[in-house]
Structure 1
Amino acid sequence: MFYAHSGRCEDLKSWQPLVDHLRATADLAASFGRPLGIDRLAFLAGLYHDLGKYSERFQQRLAGKDIHVDHSTAGAVEMMTRGAQTSPVERLMLELVAYCIAGHHAGLPDRKNETGAGLDRRLELDLPALDAAWKAELGELSPVDAVSLVPDVLKTFCREDADFSLSVLARMIFSCLVDADFQETEAFYDQLEGRSRDRAWPALTDCLPRFVTRFETYMAEKAGAGGDLNQLRGNILRHVRLKAKEAPGLFTLTVPTGGGKTLASLGFALDHARSHDRRRIIYAIPFTSIIDQTAAIFRKVLGDEYVLEHHSAIDEEKWQKGRKEHRQQADKLKMAMEDWAAPVVVTTNVQFFESLFAARTSRARKLHNIAGSIIILDEAQTVPRPLLKPAIRMLDELARAYGCSIVLCTATQPALGKDRLDGGLPLEGRELAPDPQGLATKLRRATICMIGDMSNADLTDALAAQTQALIVVNSRKHALELFQEAANADLEGLVHLTTRQCAAHRREILENVRTRLAEGKPCRVIATSLIEAGVDVDFPKVWRAEAGLDQIIQAAGRCNREGRNAPEDSIVTVFSAPDYPPPREIKSLMGDMDRMRKAHGHDLQSLAAIEAYFGEVYWRLGDNGLDAKQILGDFTHSSRGTDYAFRTVAEKFRMIESGMVPVILPWDDKAREAIRQLAVEGISSGKLARTLQTYVVQVPPKARALLLENGKAEFIAPKLRGDQFCVLTDEELYREDVGLMWEDAEYLSAEQLMI
């Protein structure tokens, strides 16, 4: 008898037979792949993924012998061997399955790699001999069987870029495999240990009648408030919902700030899902600063129990790297990541896109649940330009081959259509909003005024002259020093808002800001750009440090948002800050912005100006700048087979390249309890990471090293969690007004020694 997983040491009857695990995993993987049309490929990956466990060495390891055994490569070897006996297309399918099987623990590999992790290197290994029992229990894959493996999705491949399409197909097979493997193993150990866990989420189709009723009730209550703005928002919503019966695919929703984009896109998603039997709704947001805001709206409208909120503040994979290989499989699988099976998912752009390009199992396992979804990309213009080409190529693939409907939702629509961008998206005739040009005029709430230099003293004087005002600058350094200078002037209602504060703290700050604004109390906010995209605040006056046109218009969306004042009295002052040079990327966008001033200075907020601006930016960057890391070139093939660099691409596709590292703040009782639970072995790191994600501040690596060196922070439960959870232990370094002052770590340590 060959076993997949050990049970109680003294009772072999409690161990899981290998054939049971393989067939159950194959069936589950096939069920995940069926909506995508790849069930045969997923079944094959599941059936052969642990083929290497049919070896005496692995069975000895399972019985407790401390030896290393590669059990993931044998199935890949079998796929490649059988592929050599089939037609070229069928061989290609088996080759994709080989990548998936080889990577089902360590992650999708590169085909060629200087290290031993490359697929080619692994295929050449001297592997333990397999017992012939596997052929009797599983059956060999014959060449004729391979014919049925070619999925219908191949018919929709983009022939001029088939390799990228095939790489996405491999990712989808991989997702089905690893999610099935996680869940099947988890179920075995749950049964063995007498546990039960409810992984089931209701299907979106079953929830839709309730969702639509609740949505319409909610919107009726909002409409009851009356007013011209609410009437205009209602007209936009009705028009957008009428478009829901259009064929699935790519859409744009171009509505200026204040026009109700979030609820209009949700209304479209609900109706579109009902018309076209979509599987879930995924709402991707650019910044963690507004994910709580959007998730709260969705929970209020749809119900708490149906919405999954998934941030990216903590690297939820890193803890796995340091774990000892001989730990029980059950121990590892307690750490399984969410698989996005919820009917409604609210996440960040970082989590969404990096998962689509991920190699590791914990991030890739959710991909099969993205297929067949309605994806709303809020503030679509925020996708990093150096990654734009691979990102839109992925969106096109999801829409064309995997049944996704994708809405690019923004006030400043980037020029991503085929008519504006080489390799762009088929967006012609796919706008959901009624008369975007007219809306841009009707919903204009502010006037942009360009002036010259302003020092911190000038900005402090400007704040002093206003009871309520917002200043947005380009760096945390500028925001902090301006805040400190304004604080010395004793300005009432002064607020500092940057990523020095954890998200949970920023949420409290923003609630206080909204209250003060609504009550007419003094409220003077100094912030970085995190406040711009989608944050629901309304100031009578705004100052914005020079930046790109899209950022300036987003800042203008925080000025007179509810239209209570005349646009000509609601001034957005754009200034230069000579003492604080802008980051290189923003500086280059300022040049594009300057050219727009010359061509469209009379109306920088017009759609023509916005379209021309993005066209200018994309033209300047060119193909090399929009795929700066040459990701699309990492998927090629020749007569010798594919050369796909999954692991390399996963490392390249990083939407945030700040080089920052996380420090966790014991901000409130919830955070402190989760920190305490880090020492409890039975609680998964994944669960605790998700709890703690809103209590993280990202700091420079040298700053964190200084905190650790001076005893101001420590890694909690390092033997259990590795170096994943760095927690601030000296809470004096976290100030209520400005957040984490990591620069003070060494100074305070020396001061305490003198005392």
Structure 2
Amino acid sequence: MSDLVIFDKCIARPDEQDRKYLLRDHLLGVKKAVEQRLESDYGFHCHDTIYIRLAGLAGVCHDMAKAHRKWQRYIRGKSKGGPNHAPEGAFLFSYLGYHLLQQERQWPSYAVHWLWLIRDIADHHGALKHLDDKHWMGAGAWEEMDLPGIAVFMEQVYPELRHVPMTVEALDQWIDQVYDVFKEAYDLLDVGYSPDYGKVMDQLSLWREITTALIAGDRFHVATIEKTGFNQEDHIRQDRKLDEYCRNNGDQAMAEIRNEAQSQILSQLAKDPGRRVYTLEMPTGYGKTITALKIAAWLGREQGYEKIIYVAPYLSILEQTSGVIEKAMDTSVLEHHSLAVVAEKQKDEDLEEEGKLHSGQLLMESWANPVVCTSFQQWSKAIFPGKAQDTLRRAYLHNSVVIIDEPQIFAPESWNVFLCGLESVTKLYNLRIFFLSATMPPFDYGLSEQPGCLAINPVKGMERYQVEQKGEMDEQVVAEYLLKRSRNGIDDKKALSRAAILNTIADAYLVYKQLSVKIKPPHLKLLHGMMIPLHKRVEIKKIKHSQAENKQECQYVISTQIIEAGVDLNFDHIIRALPILPSIIQAAGRVNRNGSGDRGILTLITFLRGGEKDTRGSIYPATLQKLTDELLQKQEVWLESELLELIKEYYRKMFARNSYEAGKQAIIDAYEGNWPLLGQQFTPFKEDYFKLPVFVPWQVEKEDRDFLPRRFVELQKRLGLYSAEDIYACYEDRDYYSHMSFETRKQFMILMNHYVVNVPAKLAFSLVGKDLYLINRIPCLWSGSDYDSVAGLAKRAVEGFDTII
């Protein structure tokens, strides 16, 4: 054909000035990168030459079909689109890989690896699909490529394949044979009865390491990303910085106790330093995060660990801790979470095709930074990647200390699957895992051995709070009880900071309404999950400021569970609508947090909305409610030390009644072909509602501008955008992105997402209508009456959304 391009002149990406990016150079570069990664000192098959040779062949084949004349026209800007090259690459590999293994007399020993590599090539620009997806079979318009030139190239790279014919006729004949070969390999995946979940998970982790080698080799050949990590001097410097941070923040009553707890934990670690997984069990307020950072510095000095990865359940905790790490360690932190996801005009797949993925995007997605702060969702994608691109976060995962905060928030149904996957990648990448919580879930059914326990009990004789149990209350009684609570018949005038934590937004709003008759802002606050992030952060900072001022004025906060984990607020008295025991412990951690003054009180009640409706069951499973009630009824009043023992009994009984092992069947299903069960359907949280984003142009009051988050203000100045309306106008202007670097676009999306709240689809449609979602991914709520300056969207959530907190 007249426009058929000679293979040696095919390009992989557009020319840059005098530099050409030849396709052959790209294929050889990926081959080399794949082989070098798999030959390194980690992994299961580091000395297996057949395995490495086969993976290198996948690197050569993955983009081979870019030699197609139409794709070459596309990449040279002569047409708008090119054919999908991935299926053809998978088909070519299936042919050459099979013959390579036959020639080495290693079929069927490596038949499963052959199968995995076919799937990886077919999926290397998209979702990781079921092994049984056969769209790659028979793929290839080989007459549209310089097949003789490809054959010469392959013979140069793999001389042992010189006798394997590379002609259109030979590949057509392979179409008739490949299904039977595929079936033979697929049958080898049957694990039989009573499988060892750990060993099966190890094989899956090996598969995804192969995927990582291919994807990293492909992406990093386009934009080089250098590995970065801490060295010995860095660890010594950071240890000093952490000590300095502790001294400068040592004016609270708990400072001495925290320092002593930190010393005891490090002493315990030094006596048992060889485990892969540890729990760090310290009461709330004892300084778990700083202690974990000290542990990471110690492991860096003593055992050569290079990175810290901090994992949090909620963005509020993630961003708060990220700020602490930057300040305490004097280092830059890479944040990877949903707010930092950049909205691209082009699909990622299109950008990958052209080799135009930004180095900033690759740096973020590969976690190529010594300190990374990420979310449960993003960390889970490292273990169970849903897309080929997700595997990049494994690229520089080796020798990391991973700190997983508040693990009890994981959905019980997902917990054991997560642990099984975590243990496997921990071995593969030489990780050290530290779980941080005052309420640690059990590990018996997910890990092959118990974690090492680093634990500190509350200081003897120091009981910061007690938990008392009262009866039923509706919204009016709760408001009255907060306004005038008595202890031993005497009005408690010392409880200046009071809160009520309800199970649903509707419950919280109704209590707030009752209180608002007698208490006005700024002495009354409402916090819940249907306020935009900026609004919540400003209100939380105002509460903290008021508490720090220590004025002799009562302050009332009505909230849902959102203040129970990772929010550094302190109250003298909290009323808590009965949840389950872990939530009780977390709520108690907000009571007399700094151990100063009189003992704080947590009052447990059965909340009845309107005097009738108990909404506890909308949030918590009946079995866990029953278990909580059985344990609490043993006594009327519980002290802090007693509760921490009770939570251990709770988890023992919880998993004895239901071990949640059924979910591990997904591991077997994934190995036998159905990877999407893990990669795309595994979630750390259980979502009952499909949610949609809504942009709310909320404006902070002039007198509250000092309470805006530091990073938000910095982003405003950097981008020159100071109003919500201006931000949304830029979002609607799609050309706005084209003039920005990747880093600036990421900053813009973070700034914008301060105004975005995710709400149930039914509510979203009632607020902005369905049509706007067809125009903009994130429509704007222009109606000022729907979003209240104090209550947010709570007015619209009184009925019908009881599982939203």
Q: TM-score, normalised by structure 2?
A: 0.77
Greater mean alpha carbon deviation, residues 312-321 or residues 692-701: 312-321
Number of equivalent positions: 685
Which of 280, 285, 288 lines up with 2:315 in the alignment? 288
Question: What residue is the counterpart of 1:77 in the other structure?
Answer: 91
Q: Is the aligned partner of 1:404 residue 2:404?
A: no
Residue 340 of structure 1 aligns to a residue in which SS?
Answer: coil
* Corresponding position: 1:594 with 2:629: yes
CA contact (8 A) 1:516 1:522 kept: no
Q: Secondary structure in 1 aligned to 2:308?
A: strand
Paired position in structure 2 for 1:635: 670
Q: Which amino acid aligns with 1:497?
A: L
Q: Residue 710 and residue 256 in structure 1: after superposition, are their counterparts in 2 closer, same or farther (change >3 A)?
A: same
Secondary structure, in 3 states, of the residue corresponding to 2:453? coil
From 611, 616, 619, give the equivalent of 1:582.
Answer: 616
Corresponding residue for 2:238? Answer: 211
Tell me how far apart the structure 2 counterparts of residues 742 and 574 of structure 1 sit (CA, whole Å): 24
Residue 475 of structure 2 is matched in structure 1 by 456
Residue 538 (1) aligns with residue 551 (2): no
Change (3 A) 1:705 1:333: farther
In structure 2, the partner of 1:359 is 386
Whichever residue aligns with residue 339 of structure 1, its letter is S
Q: Secondary structure at the match of 1:631?
A: helix
| 1:91-114 Cα deviation digits (max 9, x unpaired) | 3333333222221101222112xx
Residues 471 and 30 of structure 1, relative CA distance in 2, 3 Å threshold: farther
User: C-alpha displacement at 1:343, in angstroms?
Assistant: 0.8
In 2, Cα distance between equivalents of 1:724 and 1:29:
37
Q: Deviations over 1:126-146 (max 9, x none)?
A: 5545624334435238599xx
Deviation at residue 411 of structure 1 after TM alignment:
0.4
8 A Cα contact 2:75 2:354, kept in partner = no
Does residue 140 (structure 1) correspond to residue 139 (structure 2)? The answer is no
Structure 1 segment 381-400 matched on structure 2, within 5 A: 381-400=408-427
2:554 to 505, 514, 522: 522
Deviation of the 1:57 alpha carbon: 4.2
Please identify, of 309-318 and 659-668, the stretch whose mean Cα deviation from structure 2 is larger. Answer: 309-318
How many Å separate the matches in 2 of 1:455 and 1:323?
Answer: 54
Query: Distance between the aligned counterparts of 1:510 and 1:499, measured in 2?
Result: 13
Shift of 1:286: 1.5
Residue among 5, 10, 24 paired with 1:3 = 10
Question: Residues of 1 paired with 2:428 and 2:344: CA distance?
Answer: 32
1:69-148 to 2 correspondence within 5 Å?
Answer: 69-81=83-95, 82-83=97-98, 85=102, 86-112=106-132, 118=133, 120-125=134-139, 127-128=141-142, 131-138=147-154, 139-140=157-158
Q: Aligned partner of 2:262: which letter?
A: L
Q: How does 1:545-556 map to 2 (within 5 A)?
A: 545-556=577-588
Mean Cα deviation higher: 646-655 or 288-297: 646-655
C-alpha distance in structure 2 between counterparts of 1:272 and 1:327, whole Å: 41
- 1:167 is displaced (CA, Å) by 1.8
**Separation in 1 of the partners of 2:352 and 2:125?**
14
Shift of 1:676: 4.4
SS in 2 for 1:422: coil
Give the partner amino acid of 2:654.
Answer: V
How far 1:442 moved relative to its partner? 5.5
SS state of the match for residue 727, structure 1?
Answer: coil
Matches of 1:77 and 1:690, distance apart in 2: 41
Q: How far did residue 515 of structure 1 move?
A: 1.2
Task: Pick closer, same or farther for the CA change 1:388–1:686 going to 2, 3 Å.
Answer: same
Contact residue 469 and residue 604 of structure 2 kept, 8 A: yes
Mapped to 1, the partners of 2:347 and 2:463 lie a distance apart of 51
User: Which residue matches 1:422?
Assistant: 445
1:413 maps to which of 424, 440, 445: 440
Q: Is the 8 A contact 2:693 2:779 kept in 1?
A: yes
Q: Which whole-Å CA distance do the structure 2 matches of 1:664 and 1:413 have between them?
A: 36
What's the offset of the Cα at 1:555?
0.2
Provide the C-alpha distance between the structure 1 equivalents of 2:30 and 2:296, rounded to a whole number of angstroms: 33
Q: CA RMSD in A?
A: 3.4
Shift of 1:600: 7.2
Cα pair distance change 1:362/1:422, threshold 3 Å: closer
Task: Deviation per CA, 1:65-85: give whole Å up to 9, x if none.
Answer: 456523112333344342452
1:536/1:160 CA distance change after superposition, 3 Å: closer
In the TM superposition, 1:174-193 aligns within 5 A as: 174-186=211-223
Asked if the contact 2:496/2:572 (under 8 Å) is kept, the reply is no
2:348 & 2:784 partners in 1: Cα distance? Answer: 28
**CA separation of 1:424/1:366 partners in 2, compared to 1, >3 Å: closer, same or farther?**
closer
Verify the 8 A CA contact 2:497 2:554 in the aligned structure 1: yes
Partners of 1:675 and 1:29 lie apart in 2 by 43
The equivalent residue for 2:593 is 561
Q: Secondary structure at the match of 2:657?
A: helix
User: SS of the counterpart of 2:767?
Assistant: helix
Matching of residues 498-517 of structure 1 within 5 Å: 498-517=528-547
Distance 2:345 2:512 in 1: 37
Counterparts in 2 of 1:239 and 1:160: CA distance versus 1, 3 Å: same
Match of 1:312 in 2: 338
Deviations 1:375-405 (A, max 9, x none): 1111111111111121011111122222111
Cα separation, 2, equivalents of 1:208 and 1:423: 32
1:238 is aligned, of 263, 277, 294, to 263
Q: Secondary structure at the match of 2:683?
A: coil
Structure 1 range deviating more: 598-607 or 376-385: 598-607
Partner residue of 2:453 out of 431, 440, 450:
431
> Would the aligned equivalents of 1:254 and 1:432 in 2 still touch at CA under 8 Å?
yes
- Counterpart in 2 of 1:748? none
Whichever residue aligns with residue 728 of structure 1, its letter is L
Q: Percent identity?
A: 21
Residue 174 of structure 1 deviates from its aligned partner by: 2.2
| Long gaps (5+) in structure 1 | 113-117, 145-157, 188-198, 637-642, 745-755
C-alpha deviation, 1:553, in angstroms: 0.6
Taking the TM superposition and a 5 Å limit, the aligned residue runs for 1:630-669 are 630-636=665-671, 643-656=672-685, 657=687, 658-667=689-698, 669=716
Which residue number in structure 1 is paired with residue 180 of structure 2? none
Query: Where do residues 258-297 of structure 1 align in structure 2 (5 Å cutoff)?
Result: 258-297=285-324
CA positional deviation for 1:357: 1.8
